Structure 1
């Protein structure tokens, strides 16, 4: 039986761990903070503060499912602990679960009736729920919706465009500059300078931007949900992870690794937009390259290529601010056309999120997914976009609250069942820009360095050269960008927590 002295020592040690975790959190070392809070919880699991603090750290890593679990535990320990409801409400908001968040912020207001911050967040949450109810009331059933894209003839727009109108958008600068470089009239440095200048001006010619989006949609619609890529012997192929609206880091990738071309093709593996405040420049650039040379640019859907994410994390607001409401609908339609996965040289499986809740999934099953819709909350399409690897064997609940976690045995069986060598996925920020897991059979690649201007991580890309197709990982730091903060166009209530 423990003595009072030993209990006091245990409590003291737990507090020391909490203090160390707090310091790690302040230094933006959120994974380290989670480990330290976990150690404190092991010593004193009845301390609600430890659970709530760990919930906050999970939120910073976008692990909203884990954050909700920890915040709920804090509430169970102390039903009057306002921060438990506060942390859970913030996680619900980040997941777009406004009604659940509203209940938690109402409880915060009851516990702290004179807290102006709680009152402000409650008011914003009430606005979001009212807006959601209004949108639900006026929404048209999916079966009855008319495609905006189908009502526009982009070919007639192209015919009407003049040369002068093509010089004032980042996307056009890409097409023009890349064409000039192909003719050996410009250096890559000059090409990138033109792209950056055009983005800084950001005067969008509506007809041209619309043409690029519509032409990309037409190209993507012809593709299967799983695209097979063939890299000839002696040639290389580059896979990039999340870019998240960090346009100037995208330019840096092209400076380091060359512009996309038939001899230098790229696959960008989802999450092109949201969070970063230059998402429109990113997506128009990638789409322009796709239109200019389809075999030089492959694009996969990420979990942020969806209406629900774009509504919360900034892309919808950015498009509405820089272009128009029509473009919000256009991008939503094009995102539903993006393929879900790629296989390179019948060896490397590339997907944004991860693997599946059941064994025996074949490539033909992925190819057969009807992807032309908003992502569902379960099933193969959901898991492709949302799942994450875990170190433990088997499967577990998702730390995000969507999809699942899958272990090295799951990866091994999937590769064996489909005669593949490697899984490449993205979806998670990594300190070095990448991480190799599951006995070397799975690589995470993340291409947004210093994510959200605060994580301090490197970015990475992976080069494969045929026929060996061995991964050659290149890392790079963040570059400077104009003074526009991440989440500048995000939903107002979410910016309160950023």
Structure 2
């Protein structure tokens, strides 16, 4: 029995090395079923869960390993990483402290402990200075008199966005060049106003001879975004796109993705849609690189304006009265209807917080078991096929389309066809061997699924702009 369990663990390790995280979890789980007294089985599974961003599960596994062996340093390590990843710094700090005490020579753990202490202090500071109606970062920004130097070699932007400007921008970004700050400010401010005036749930139909493409998370993977456009066609008045949140963070071209998507929103405001994701939020941007990237490529004001524009984004899009598209998923209460989403005043609450409708729309995940369960992420909750069925029937929907999670094939149809996940960042973070996908919808409202592979990109690692040690943790 013990030998069989070790053999299964070794198979799990092989799957892990091949970056097949779900396969690794399956083997570790089988090993645990044969022998639930070996802490390393739990810490190995915790690490695979961390790779899948199932931080809640990782915390539970690490805790179990600590119960079996309170001196098992790796378990404290794993739990600290998982808690840090979901911004529970005050929980993480206790485990980092244990690791440093038990293994004072571990420089990475020491750096993490120090970074975590800074995070706890910064969180407290930000909370203390939080102002409900803080002035906009646009105040005092004199765009009209901002000079674009003669030495700037890019296309010029007047009052209206043009296809020529976008074409030039795509090439600039490919070649590692930046936009002039004046244009960056101009684009963000224009889109902030456009999306602020949209409904919390945008409602759109697909006209005859038109097409709408739904994309999931792109996470700063700019070259893979261009691959979608290359394979599937660039946005136009007859070919709309809906990007379902998580444009930024993790990947190191988040500024480029956000600016390109915003430029298309300016050019085609009625055919190009953007839903907010859980990474279009301040605390995630501080942790996962977007704030650092904005500061490195432009300045802090650019980040603050992006932050204001993110909090103005719609939370959902209803396609042809058939498909509710939102980043995370469904709700803790069966009584919620589309009308509740319509009535939600998202402008009263800039950040999603720890509870409520906005948090659930951005954070929840489907599960295979009926009913509702605790979140595998440690944030939000999980909802079963019966929850999805009731919601769709009550609201006259064919399905819910959501993103928020890696799928190895780029998409997955679950809950008897009523819950569809689409994820558009192939080879996610350069460390998961997943495909990307997008969904085309024409006027017959049939879903056409398309998969694609990652393309090469310049040698800049994911999380290159995360300044809090997260990039080093990703390799653990």
- Alignment TM-score, normalising by the size of structure 1: 0.90
2:391 alignment partner, SS class:
helix
Distance apart, 1:360 and its partner CA = 2.2
In the alignment, the residues of structure 2 paired with residue 312 and residue 384 of structure 1 have an alpha-carbon distance, to the nearest angstrom, of: 21
The residue that corresponds to 2:342 in the other structure is 367
2:412 alignment partner, SS class:
strand
Q: Where in structure 2 are the equivalents of 1:188-227 lying within 5 Å? A: 191=167, 195-227=170-202
Conserved in 2, the CA contact under 8 Å of 1:166 and 1:205?
no
Conserved in 1, the CA contact under 8 Å of 2:173 and 2:256?
no
Select which of 460, 466, 471 maps to 1:495.
Answer: 471
CA deviation map 1:100-151 (0-9, x unaligned): 11110111122223434433332332333333344445x24224x1122355
In the alignment, the residues of structure 1 paired with residue 223 and residue 398 of structure 2 have an alpha-carbon distance, to the nearest angstrom, of: 33
The residue that corresponds to 2:154 in the other structure is 167
Pairing 1:447–2:434 present: no
Conserved in 1, the CA contact under 8 Å of 2:155 and 2:164?
no
In the alignment, the residues of structure 2 paired with residue 199 and residue 175 of structure 1 have an alpha-carbon distance, to the nearest angstrom, of: 20
CA deviation map 1:394-433 (0-9, x unaligned): 1111101111111111111111111111111111111111
1:401 alignment partner, SS class:
coil
The residue that corresponds to 2:304 in the other structure is 329
Conserved in 2, the CA contact under 8 Å of 1:157 and 1:207?
no
Query: Quick one: structure 1 residues 150 and 166, their matched pair in 2 at CA, closer, same or farther if it must change by over 3 Å?
Result: farther
1:237 alignment partner, SS class:
strand
Distance apart, 1:42 and its partner CA = 1.1
Which consecutive residues of structure 2, in runs of 5 or more, have no partner in the other structure?
Answer: none
The residue that corresponds to 1:186 in the other structure is none
The residue that corresponds to 1:187 in the other structure is none
Conserved in 2, the CA contact under 8 Å of 1:51 and 1:70?
yes
In the alignment, the residues of structure 2 paired with residue 198 and residue 234 of structure 1 have an alpha-carbon distance, to the nearest angstrom, of: 32
The residue that corresponds to 2:446 in the other structure is 470
The residue that corresponds to 1:406 in the other structure is 383
In the alignment, the residues of structure 1 paired with residue 145 and residue 199 of structure 2 have an alpha-carbon distance, to the nearest angstrom, of: 28
Q: Supply the RMSD in Å over aligned alpha carbons.
A: 2.2
The residue that corresponds to 1:269 in the other structure is 244
Q: Where in structure 2 are the equivalents of 1:78-477 lying within 5 Å? A: 78-137=69-128, 139-143=129-133, 145-149=134-138, 151-152=140-141, 156=144, 167=154, 176=162, 178-179=163-164, 191=167, 195-372=170-347, 373-466=350-443, 468-477=444-453
The residue that corresponds to 2:457 in the other structure is 481
CA deviation map 1:25-80 (0-9, x unaligned): 11111111111111111111122111111111111111111111111111111111
The residue that corresponds to 1:185 in the other structure is none
1:250 alignment partner, SS class:
helix
Aligned residue pairs: how many?
Answer: 471
The residue that corresponds to 1:184 in the other structure is none
Conserved in 2, the CA contact under 8 Å of 1:68 and 1:92?
yes
Conserved in 2, the CA contact under 8 Å of 1:48 and 1:75?
yes
In the alignment, the residues of structure 2 paired with residue 430 and residue 295 of structure 1 have an alpha-carbon distance, to the nearest angstrom, of: 30
Distance apart, 1:161 and its partner CA = 6.1
In the alignment, the residues of structure 2 paired with residue 490 and residue 49 of structure 1 have an alpha-carbon distance, to the nearest angstrom, of: 29
Conserved in 1, the CA contact under 8 Å of 2:154 and 2:179?
no
1:80 alignment partner, SS class:
coil
The residue that corresponds to 1:6 in the other structure is none
In the alignment, the residues of structure 1 paired with residue 155 and residue 31 of structure 2 have an alpha-carbon distance, to the nearest angstrom, of: 56
In the alignment, the residues of structure 2 paired with residue 115 and residue 278 of structure 1 have an alpha-carbon distance, to the nearest angstrom, of: 32
Q: Which segment drifts farther, 124-133 or 270-279?
A: 124-133
Query: Quick one: structure 1 residues 49 and 399, their matched pair in 2 at CA, closer, same or farther if it must change by over 3 Å?
Result: same
Which consecutive residues of structure 1, in runs of 5 or more, have no partner in the other structure?
Answer: 1-9, 182-190
Select which of 36, 49, 68 maps to 1:77.
Answer: 68
2:242 alignment partner, SS class:
strand
Larger Rg: 1
The residue that corresponds to 1:46 in the other structure is 37
Conserved in 2, the CA contact under 8 Å of 1:276 and 1:486?
yes
CA deviation map 1:161-204 (0-9, x unaligned): 699858269x99x955x2489xxxxxxxxx4x861344424233
Distance apart, 1:266 and its partner CA = 0.4
CA deviation map 1:442-464 (0-9, x unaligned): 21111111111121211111001
Distance apart, 1:233 and its partner CA = 2.6
In the alignment, the residues of structure 2 paired with residue 46 and residue 457 of structure 1 have an alpha-carbon distance, to the nearest angstrom, of: 33
In the alignment, the residues of structure 1 paired with residue 169 and residue 205 of structure 2 have an alpha-carbon distance, to the nearest angstrom, of: 32
In the alignment, the residues of structure 1 paired with residue 205 and residue 107 of structure 2 have an alpha-carbon distance, to the nearest angstrom, of: 59
1:492 alignment partner, SS class:
coil
